[in-house]
Structure 1
Amino acid sequence: MTLTQLEYIVALDTHRHFVLASEKCFVTQPTLSMQIQKLEEELGVKIFDRTKQPVIPTEIGASIIAQARVVLRDAGLIRQLISEQKDSMSGEIRIGIIPTIAPYLLPPLFKNIREKYPQVNLVVREIITEEIVQELKNNRLDCGIVVTPLKDSSIKEDVLFYEELFVYVSKNNALYDKKYVLPNEIDPNQLWLLEEGHCFRSQILNLCELQKFSAINFRYETGNIETLKRMVDKSDGITILPELAVMEFTKPQMKFVKQLKEPRPAREVSLVIHRDHLKTKLIQTLKEEILAIVPKPMQKLNRKKVVDISY
């Protein structure tokens, strides 16, 4: 049994396709297949059910793969210890980031990392929080940028900033002339929401106390905040925008943005890692670069109140 063989079975489990797994491992498909078969012969069990499409692990195979991920994580720790001892800033860092943060944080972050640390390779996946947590546990991601608290004992949370929530109102809406808005003034039948699965959606439901309105027809749901904003622009509706989404608004655009009454609702954004995480130095550098981008006032709670992300 070799680490290479373990890497191959983990890759096949991740991609569920021999050709794709071999490409990700930079080997030919016959080489990957042969090494996996050799491991199966050595262990005396079938790790994968090849009769299914896509290929899936057998029951015992799933347990073997789970342990292989642990072994590879520990082996990676040895490599990371050597890298940090050499004081080199290089390597790959796999990041998961939720869609409501990615468009506003990633462009300047990519630029800064590329200029300061050309030896660091950022691999970013834009997925929802639930998937980020699962990928951290399976060692498919090194860290995530999500809204917290997650209330998961296996995940460590390092708060980055507190993002205020604003009301974005159509000029045809009754709230347009208000400077401040109360949550109970928001008509749920005029509210545009993100689709199910987004933590930002559940925060809005909690903020506006909409759980009791189970019969509301929200008419349209999307995973994109910019789409919600455009829907409001073309209707008499309302949506809620996070602070990063309004930071680059022009003065005319800010006329459509209303603050909520104090304590101003906010979401807590954190850098999250698995408790058995690796790449400590790279992740710390990532944190420092994020904080260099985010305005200082956002890094403190001040007169804000974090809105719960659970129902």
Structure 2
Amino acid sequence: MTLTQLSYIVAVDKYRHFATAAQKIYITQPTLSMQIQKLEDELGVLIFDRSKTPVIPTSVGELIIEQAKSILSGAKHIEDIVAVEGESLKGSFRVGIIPTIAPYLVPLFLQNFVEKYPDVELTFEEALTSEVLEGLNEDHFDVGIIATPTTKHLFEVDLYLEPFMGYLSAKHDLAGKDEICIDDLYKEDLWLLNEGHCFRDQTMKICKKNNESKNKTPITFESGNLETLKRLVEKDFGITLMPYLAVNDHDKTCANGVVKEFMDPVPSRKVRLVYSREFLKKNLIESFSQVIRTSIPDELQEAKDTLIVE
């Protein structure tokens, strides 16, 4: 029995499909199947019922998988304990980050972090907030970067407050205003992300009004990507909301969309770094959060009259 074999059965349990599990952990399906078969032969039991689609653990397999998770977690913590010893930061560091933050924040600090801590093996994975939290609980991630409050058993480090911005078609009724306000917004007039994105939920909280009679774009289109919503706006379709960093480098000379700030109090989201174990990799977590804070634009580091939307 090896840690590798235990990690394979945990992966199959997570994805309930041998081919998908193999793809996710970057090995071939024959290798995955062979190693699990060897483990089953050694233990003299079937861990998975392969006659089912998707595959499911047997009753004894469920017990074995739970114990495997505990063993893998303990082994990882031993590695973490060793990694925090010594003067230099080193070791693996897995970061779960939500899609409305990742493409705009990571490029700002990545080069600074790599130059300062070259021995740290960084791995980023985009995931919805619920998936980030699940990954933290399962020790799949060391830290998460999200924009909503967490459960009590997780630790939080506030990184910055990020204002919401309006992104409008140049032909939109609000395009002529110097600033927009919350009362200008109607739910039916906005392009939204798919359900499951916290940015969608926060946008809905900002837009408290309904507008059944003035909807000028009788099209329903929900996306998992903010950039898709931006492209729709630039083709003279409506309005969407964006986080500040998504429009920070907006080039007015080559984009048809119009960026509008909100009047005070400006609706904003709080971007947080979260983790589940206070004593492991604490110095790495502190260094990681510090590099992020020093790499973001100065205007996000200043206190403003904001309305925090959770």
TM-score range normalised by the length of the shorter chain: 0.7 to 0.9
Residue number among 37, 40, 47 corresponding to 1:37 in the alignment = 40
Deviation at 1:237, TM superposition (A): 0.9
**Which residue number in structure 2 is paired with residue 271 of structure 1?**
273
Residues 155-166 of structure 1 mapped to structure 2, 5 A cutoff? 155-166=154-165
Residues 84-95 of structure 1 mapped to structure 2, 5 A cutoff? 84-95=84-95
**Which residue number in structure 1 is paired with residue 111 of structure 2?**
111
Amino acid aligned to 1:7:
S
CA contact (8 A) 2:170 2:256 kept: no
Tell me, which stretches of 5 or more residues in structure 2 are unaligned?
none
Deviation at 1:221, TM superposition (A): 0.9
CA contact (8 A) 2:233 2:257 kept: no
**Which residue number in structure 1 is paired with residue 189 of structure 2?**
190
1:48-98 CA-to-partner distances (Å, cap 9, x unmatched) read 223234433234433432332233222222222222213342222221111
Tell me, which stretches of 5 or more residues in structure 1 are unaligned?
none
**Which residue number in structure 2 is paired with residue 140 of structure 1?**
140
Is 70-79 or 271-280 further displaced after alignment?
Answer: 271-280
Secondary structure of the structure 2 residue equivalent to 1:104:
helix
1:79-132 CA-to-partner distances (Å, cap 9, x unmatched) read 222222133422222211111111111223333333333332222111211111
**Which residue number in structure 2 is paired with residue 262 of structure 1?**
264
TM-score using structure 2 length: 0.84
Deviation at 1:277, TM superposition (A): 7.5
**Which residue number in structure 2 is paired with residue 168 of structure 1?**
167
Deviation at 1:200, TM superposition (A): 0.5
Distance 1:229 1:306, change over 3 A: same
CA contact (8 A) 2:18 2:33 kept: no
Residue number among 271, 292, 295 corresponding to 1:293 in the alignment = 295
Secondary structure of the structure 1 residue equivalent to 2:250:
coil
**Which residue number in structure 2 is paired with residue 222 of structure 1?**
223
Amino acid aligned to 1:162:
L
CA contact (8 A) 2:165 2:259 kept: yes
Distance 1:116 1:54, change over 3 A: farther
Deviation at 1:262, TM superposition (A): 1.2
Distance 1:139 1:39, change over 3 A: farther
**Which residue number in structure 2 is paired with residue 241 of structure 1?**
242
Deviation at 1:35, TM superposition (A): 4.2
CA contact (8 A) 1:22 1:28 kept: no
Distance 1:228 1:40, change over 3 A: same
CA contact (8 A) 1:76 1:278 kept: no
Residue number among 263, 284, 287 corresponding to 2:286 in the alignment = 284
For 1:62 and 1:140, the matched residues in 2 are separated by 19
Distance 1:29 1:307, change over 3 A: closer
**Which residue number in structure 2 is paired with residue 180 of structure 1?**
179
Moved over 6 A (4+): none
**Which residue number in structure 2 is paired with residue 206 of structure 1?**
205
For 2:211 and 2:62, the matched residues in 1 are separated by 41
For 1:60 and 1:305, the matched residues in 2 are separated by 51
Distance 1:108 1:22, change over 3 A: closer
Root-mean-square deviation over aligned CA pairs? 3.0
CA contact (8 A) 2:167 2:257 kept: no
Secondary structure of the structure 2 residue equivalent to 1:166:
strand
